[in-house]
A and B are shown apart, each in its own frame.
Chain A
Amino acid sequence: MEEKSVVIRNLVKKFGNFTAVDNISFEVSKGEIFGFLGANGAGKTTAMRILCGLSRPTSGEGTVAGFRIKDQQESIKRHIGYMSQKFSLYPDLKVWENIELFGGIYGLNDRQIAAKTDSMLKALSMENARDMYIRDMPLGWKQKLAFSIAMVHDPEIVFLDEPTGGVDPVTRRNFWEMIYEAAGRDVTVFVTTHYMDEAEYCDRVSVMVDGRIEALGSPAELKETYGAKDMDGVFTKIAGRAERGE
């Protein structure tokens, strides 16, 4: 059987009498690029927080990286990677200091951190940037580094929360090529985006509407089902039916 990085069954999250996540079920295979789409307020952030071990489900079962979302949140946090456009690296720390900080947070020892720093900078061709402050780095470099640091502890899955928001067209595309390479190394990628062209690069995509997963499939399948020429058309048809606000 195919290995799964995420298995979610009948996940529900309520805040008072508001049902933010309304009985969703899905699986993500190892090495898959999974696009998690939805309109603002559809429940994506709430669901993603549960998957990352930051919030408990009201009901439902599931595992992320092999750990239960109900009672193994600490293990989940240690075994996943996370990156967003808003929060990634510390601008007032140097490159090596950022790697050391995040390596330490994820429990790597000094020897492992030193080895990781070398291999990471080599893979990124940034050996000469070791002592550079993050604030002085071009955006494209920062993104590449942030992505590598999110995986400093070799997690089997990495969560990317709008990693390319506001990023220029060239840097945005370079970043997706990195995502693709990571998936090629069998890292599972769980990603949210508002750019519908990026939805096309995912192996499979889910679209949340009003707390439920309204559609799930490969971009090609979804385009065929909804008779749309691109994912923007698919998204507009599905999310345009939303009834609730954020």
Chain B
Amino acid sequence: MSDRTAIKVEGISKSYGAVKALDDINLEISEGEIYGLIGPDGAGKTSLFRVLTTLTLADSGTASVNGRDVVADYQDIRRTIGYMPGHFALYQDLSVEENLNFYATVFGTTVEANYDTIKDIYSQIEMFKTRKARALSGGMKQKLALCCALVHKPEVLFLDEPTTGVDAVSRKEFWVMLKRIKESGVTILVSTPYMDEASMCDRIALILNGRIIDRGTPQEIISRYPDRLYAVRGGNMFRILKILRPLDGVLRCSSFGSECHVAMAQDGPDSSFLLDTLKDSGVEDSSVELVNPGIEDCFIRLS
């Protein structure tokens, strides 16, 4: 990561009718980092991508990619970025090889000239190079789409929800590929609805309802979590939620897999209060442990 700014967003707003998709967004992304835009469907992630990739105009505000303005210099931006939209933009009737050649030609280059850039990923699908894109598995389509977005050696790579609907194992593999792309010096802006992917990014912004609700390194965001967080285990999760949620002193109470995360004020009652209450309600086998919050805890607190 360098100190030079790769993407700068200043006061960008965009509405669709009465819906404010982007509400005064400000961001600064450094050259060579993986920056994650993390939030649910409808938060504004795709709208921001479309503004930055010069596919739509903002209502107000300015933005630039590697110093080029998204309005005045849109042609230069298009030549120097790679963009992988949420729905893979592959030609179903073309083979793997033909798709890749097509994208290389559009950018006035060849697959051979930039083979080093895509080699790591392309080598995983190269054995299927004569297969039509429509006959590829989801995982292979994802890899091909990534190759197509990289084939012209872009300075900045925009990946809009590359892991949505992808199973937990394939998601992990995808992030390994992204790390390698980053090492070759490409700046990556990636969006995801999966909170657990935050830790794979250098810095992140949490986005909800068109607004950025927090930003920083994942560790910075976690360190700002103001409350004490307890993980409660034992017995039936939903029963525990029902018992603990209405208690005075309990700020939030959310299910987290086999645990229930209970947020309490720093000066509030401690874990023995939770244990005693559960015992009084007939939950005998519970345990309570002070834990560190994750990004999902932070998101829940801010939403």
Contact = CB atoms under 8 A, between A and B. Distances in A.
B255 interface: yes
B140 interface: yes
B277 interface: no
Contact of A40 (B166, B255, B300): B166
B138 A40 contact: yes
A166 B137 contact: no
Contacts of B167: 38-40, 194, 235, 239
A90 B81 CA distance: 37
Given A169-B303, A201-B237, A245 B140 contact: yes
B165 A245 contact: no
Contacts of B91: none
A220 to B, nearest CB: 8
A177 B137 contact: no
Contacts, number: 95
Contact of B257 (A196, A239, A242): A196
Q: Which residue, B166, B172, B257, has most C-beta atoms of chain A within 10 A? A: B257
Given A40-B170, A200-B257, A166 B195 contact: no
Interface string B72-115: 00000000000000000000000000000000000000000000
Nearest to B43: A168
Given A236-B168, A239-B169, A139 B138 contact: no
Contacts of A231: 257
Contacts of A162: 165
Interface string B123-150: 0000000000000111110000000000
A232 interface: yes
Interface residues of A, number: 34
Contact of B169 (A139, A176, A177, A235): A235
Given A168-B303, A196-B168, A236-B169, A173 B255 contact: yes
A180 B240 CA distance: 13
Interface residues of B, number: 34
A39 B257 contact: no
Contact of B168 (A169, A171, A194): A194
A239 B168 CA distance: 9
Interface in A177-210: 177, 180, 194, 196-197, 199-201
A219 B233 CA distance: 14
A97 interface: no
B300 A169 contact: yes
B139 A40 contact: yes
Nearest to B173: A240
A139 B42 contact: yes
B138 A171 contact: no
Contacts of B40: 139, 166-169, 171
Contacts of A236: 168-169, 172
A194 B166 contact: yes
Q: Which residue, A38, A39, A171, has most C-beta atoms of chain B within 10 A? A: A39
Contacts of A242: 169
A168 B39 contact: yes
Nearest to A38: B167
Given A230-B257, A245-B139, A165 B165 contact: yes
B262 to A, nearest CB: 13
A217 interface: no
Interface of A: 38-41, 139, 162, 165-171, 173, 176-177, 180, 194, 196-197, 199-201, 219, 230-232, 235-236, 239-240, 242, 245-246
Given A38-B167, A246-B137, 12 more contacts: A40-B166, A139-B40, A165-B193, A168-B40, A173-B254, A177-B241, A180-B238, A196-B168, A200-B237, A235-B169, A236-B169, A245-B139
13 contacts: A38-B167, A40-B137, A41-B138, A166-B40, A173-B255, A177-B255, A197-B257, A199-B257, A201-B255, A239-B167, A239-B168, A245-B139, A246-B139
